């Protein structure tokens, strides 16, 4: 046998990729899911523009105001004077003196289907604003509620004006209050930085977590299937166990990353196209996700979202996926029967789940001594490092060191897996035990 432990891994890699991708199930699943993501994300953008982000022009044309508050009548026409809004076509008229709300509503039923009545009352030191829609009107309850919400601030402003406050005082009173917390000597966090701190680590960690759950079982199952079919003994006559391990795991990792990148790219393409179509149909549409990305970019330092940081983050994420794929390979190497696969996957998922939560929760605790630990420890680094590199919390040099540690750990795991894989085949079928595994690891 050749002295090179990894000789022939390319052949195993090519064979595994060919065998996996030649089936119709793989092609159909990959392409159909990509198309579904493209369409779903694109259509979701258009629906958001139509229903949520752009106000439809209100069908209400006239609002008769019956003011019984005792104040000077509020000038609600200030709302309709704002051009380009959903309410710019509404006229507000003071109700005819001496008319009751019942009289006014009956008259509206006969004259128009687009008029409503706004009644302002004062009872027991409390003010009320009641918007009434005539029977058989074209106005819906949703239209009325939307308009009423817009009118409340104008009445509140009018109340304060009656007290005798100046315009400057009114503006000051109505200014919103925001609260933040900072320590002496520290810069105040912006809203964008708060969003990054909460969402970016979760997003990147969640993507990797989903990938590991989806593909870890496939890697483990592939190795177990070879044992049960006695294919492994045949393979070991032509290539080394290390070649089998690295070839199969790299092939499965390559296909998993290819699939996931294709799906993410399809979703991104659908998002871009959907955003373009939405803005074409609704020029006033503002994409909330685009606004968040802009806010994040403006709130981060110069190293954030730089090309080197993004490339290093992608590379670290791929290496992290390979690291856990090798762990799935170890599980597959120690299992002897397909029936044990569920138990083996439960064992595999334990470090995945623990590392995922550690990488997300520990950095949220400011001042924690374990923050740097999760960025360099091989099990948690894949979940923590990519996000920290992209948002600038981790420098390129620090990221490079963490990636080197992760790469060396992966290589050591590959050697360990190959040794276990080989030893269990040549161990005369003895029952697996800790003692046997220790013996296998000691055997050259």
Residues 294 and 395 in one domain: yes
Tens-place pLDDT, residues 39-78 = 999 998 888 777 754 556 788 889 999 888 887 888 888 8
| Per-residue pLDDT, 284 | 66
Residues 274 and 420 in one domain: yes
Tens-place pLDDT, residues 377-418 = 999 999 998 888 887 778 889 999 999 999 999 999 988 888
Residues 118 and 198 in one domain: no
Residues 159 and 196 in one domain: no
Number of domains in the chain: 2
Tens-place pLDDT, residues 149-180 = 888 888 888 877 776 666 666 666 666 555 54
Residues 40 and 79 in one domain: no
Is the predicted pLDDT of residue 22 greater than 80, yes or no? yes
On whether residue 181 sits in a domain, the answer given is: no
On whether residue 180 sits in a domain, the answer given is: no
Residues 183, 365: Cα–Cα separation, whole Å: 15
Residues 332 and 419 in one domain: yes
Of 118, 136, 168, which residue constitutes the final position of a domain? Answer: 168
On whether residue 38 sits in a domain, the answer given is: yes
Nearest in space to 174 (alpha carbons), one of 187, 191, 190, 161: 161
On whether residue 63 sits in a domain, the answer given is: no
Is the predicted pLDDT of residue 444 greater than 70, yes or no? no
Residue range(s) defining the domain that contains residue 141: 68-168
Residues 35 and 131 in one domain: no
| Per-residue pLDDT, 35 | 95
Residues 85 and 226 in one domain: no
Is the predicted pLDDT of residue 442 greater than 50, yes or no? yes
Residues 100 and 157 in one domain: yes
Return contacts of 329-332, CB within 8 angstroms, 24+ apart. Answer: 329/219, 329/220, 329/223, 329/245, 329/248, 329/249, 329/417, 329/421, 330/413, 330/416, 330/417, 330/420, 331/220, 332/219, 332/220, 332/221, 332/222, 332/223, 332/224
Residues 155 and 206 in one domain: no
On whether residue 177 sits in a domain, the answer given is: no
pTM for the whole structure: 0.65
On whether residue 156 sits in a domain, the answer given is: yes
pLDDT confidence tier of residue 185, bands split at 50, 70 and 90: very low
On whether residue 60 sits in a domain, the answer given is: no
Residues 145 and 214 in one domain: no
Residues 246, 263: Cα–Cα separation, whole Å: 25
On whether residue 56 sits in a domain, the answer given is: no
Is the predicted pLDDT of residue 184 greater than 60, yes or no? no
Residues 266 and 407 in one domain: yes
């Amino acid at each position: 046998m050749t002295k090179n432990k990894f000789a022939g891994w390319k052949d195993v890699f090519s064979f595994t990729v060919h065998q996996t991708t030649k089936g119709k199930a793989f092609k159909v699943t990959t392409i159909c899911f990509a198309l579904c993501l493209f369409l779903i994300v694109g259509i979701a953008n258009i629906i958001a523009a139509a229903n949520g982000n752009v106000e439809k022009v209100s069908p209400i044309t006239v609002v008769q105001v019956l003011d019984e508050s005792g104040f000077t009548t509020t000038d609600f026409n200030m709302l309709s004077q704002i051009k380009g809004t959903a309410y710019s076509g509404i006229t507000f008229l003071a109700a005819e003196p001496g008319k009751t709300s019942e009289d006014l509503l009956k008259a509206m039923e006969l004259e128009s289907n687009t008029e409503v009545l706004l009644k302002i009352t004062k009872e027991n030191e409390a003010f009320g604003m009641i918007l009434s829609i005539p029977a058989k009107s074209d106005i819906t309850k949703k239209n009325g509620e939307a308009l009423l919400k817009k009118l409340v601030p104008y009445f509140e402003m009018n109340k304060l004006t009656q007290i005798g406050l100046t315009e400057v005082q009114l503006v000051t009173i109505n200014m919103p209050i925001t609260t933040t917390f900072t320590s002496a000597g520290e810069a105040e966090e912006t809203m964008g930085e708060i969003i990054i701190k909460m969402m970016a680590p979760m997003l990147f960690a969640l993507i990797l977590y989903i990938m590991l759950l989806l593909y870890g079982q496939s890697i483990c199952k592939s190795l177990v299937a070879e044992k049960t079919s006695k294919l492994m003994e045949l393979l070991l006559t032509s290539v080394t166990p290390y070649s089998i391990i690295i070839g199969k795991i790299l092939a499965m990792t390559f296909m998993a990353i290819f699939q996931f990148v294709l799906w993410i790219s399809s979703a991104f393409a659908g998002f871009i196209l959907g955003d373009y179509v939405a803005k074409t149909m609704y020029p006033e549409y503002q994409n909330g996700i685009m606004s968040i990305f802009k806010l994040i970019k403006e709130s981060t330092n110069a190293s954030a979202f730089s090309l080197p940081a993004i490339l290093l983050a992608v590379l670290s994420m791929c290496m992290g996926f390979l690291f856990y794929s090798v762990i799935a390979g170890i599980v597959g190497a120690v299992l002897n029967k397909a029936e044990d696969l569920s138990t083996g996957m439960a064992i595999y998922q334990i470090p995945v789940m623990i590392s995922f939560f550690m990488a997300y929760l520990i950095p949220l605790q400011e001042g924690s001594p374990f923050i740097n630990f999760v960025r360099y420890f091989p099990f948690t680094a894949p979940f923590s490092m990519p996000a920290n590199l992209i948002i600038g919390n981790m420098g390129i040099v620090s990221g490079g060191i963490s990636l080197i540690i992760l790469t060396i750990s992966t290589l050591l795991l590959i050697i360990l897996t190959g040794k276990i894989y080989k030893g269990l085949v040549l161990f005369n079928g003895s029952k697996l035990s800790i003692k046997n595994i220790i013996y296998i690891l000691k055997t050259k």
